[in-house]
Amino acid sequence: MKKTLIYILSGIFVAIMAFLFFPKQTTSKENRPRDYAEITESGVLRAITAYNAISFHADGDTVSGFHYELLNAFAQAKGLKPEITPEMSFSKRLEGIKTGKYDILANSVAVTTESKDSLLFTRPIILNKQVLVQRKSEGKTDSSYIHSQLELAGKTLHMIKGSPAILRIHNLSNEIGDTIYIEEIDKYGQEQLLAMVAYGDIDYAVCDESIAKASLDDFPQLDIETAVSFSQFYSWGVSKHSPTLLDSLNAWLNDYIQTPAFKQLRKKYYNK
């Protein structure tokens, strides 16, 4: 019960953060995506991101995060006021882009054939991969410990609802010639899944390696050594109705990624 309360409170905290720090948009144009000209005319750039140690994190009155800082750098370069909303649910983040409530999906998204049906993606920003999260082995008699992808047959993996990584698990199931069951979780983010594995509420989860690594100090009982995908580039996403915004982001990213400022930002969050 105590552990469940921790997960619920985490979700409530993110909702409160979004309410306090990021006022709701009430314009009549909210029901459709905006392109770059309309964004610059308004002077406000609306973005949604994940709430975790890598993308966006609040500690007291201090907000930090790789994607939070990167988006602020873009907005400052373009003379725009950024409004960045944290949301743990991937499906809600995606819906916010589709409906035009937000202009940019500013967190690490794996570019897949399936995700390309919903979004336009920027040039690659960061390299990442998906890993299996489980508890460390208790010895040779620990039958629950997974040593390789082949041993995932018949197991249930918990994943964020709507995650592009789900397609990878389906493909992996075909590769090993056996069923891998997927339990999609909508209420929590990846860090909450890590906690659920650590506390023994679930046995297996699939998360971004960067987020899993950032949580190991808090959960030293976790094992993240088994990769379930190849390393691949992750990007930001925009609506399919915002091609000029995509061009503006790509032009800026092409230059900014070559700067010492970006290299320092990447090192701060990904190469600790």
165 and 243 within one domain: no
CA distance to 138, 160, 189, 229, per residue, from 194 (Å): 18, 11, 9, 18
Q: What is the CATH number of the domain that holds 209?
A: 3.40.190.10
CA distance to 195, 226, 227, per residue, from 150 (Å): 25, 11, 12
Domain assignment present for residue 86? The answer is yes
Mean pLDDT of 61-81: 96
Q: Say if residues 205 and 169 touch (Cβ distance below 8 Å).
A: no
171 and 152 within one domain: yes
From CA 48, how far away is CA 101, in angstroms rounded?
A: 9
Local confidence band at 150 (pLDDT 50, 70, 90 cut-offs): very high
Q: Which amino acid is at 185?
A: I
Q: Say if residues 135 and 241 touch (Cβ distance below 8 Å).
A: no
Q: Say if residues 106 and 70 touch (Cβ distance below 8 Å).
A: yes
169 and 46 within one domain: no
Q: Which domain holds residue 182?
A: 130-223
165 and 199 within one domain: yes
Tell me, yes or no, if the pTM score tops 0.85: no
22 and 104 within one domain: yes
Mean pLDDT value across the chain: 88
19 and 150 within one domain: no
Segment 219-259, tens digit of pLDDT: 999 999 999 999 988 999 999 999 999 999 999 999 999 99
Q: What pLDDT shows up at residue 192?
A: 93
241 and 203 within one domain: no
Six-digit token string for 93: 């983040």
Q: What pLDDT shows up at residue 30?
A: 57
Q: What pLDDT shows up at residue 12?
A: 45
Segment 198-213, tens digit of pLDDT: 999 999 999 999 999 9
Q: Say if residues 185 and 159 touch (Cβ distance below 8 Å).
A: yes
Mean pLDDT of 36-40: 97
Domain count, the chain: 2
Is the model more confident about 165 or about 23? 165
Q: Say if residues 226 and 137 touch (Cβ distance below 8 Å).
A: no
Check the CA dihedral 39-42-48-51 and report its sign.
Answer: positive
Domain assignment present for residue 47? The answer is yes
Local confidence band at 272 (pLDDT 50, 70, 90 cut-offs): low
> Which residues make Cβ contacts (< 8 Å) with residue 23, sequence separation at least 6?
83
Q: What pLDDT shows up at residue 60?
A: 84
Segment 92-123, tens digit of pLDDT: 999 999 999 999 999 988 888 778 888 999 99
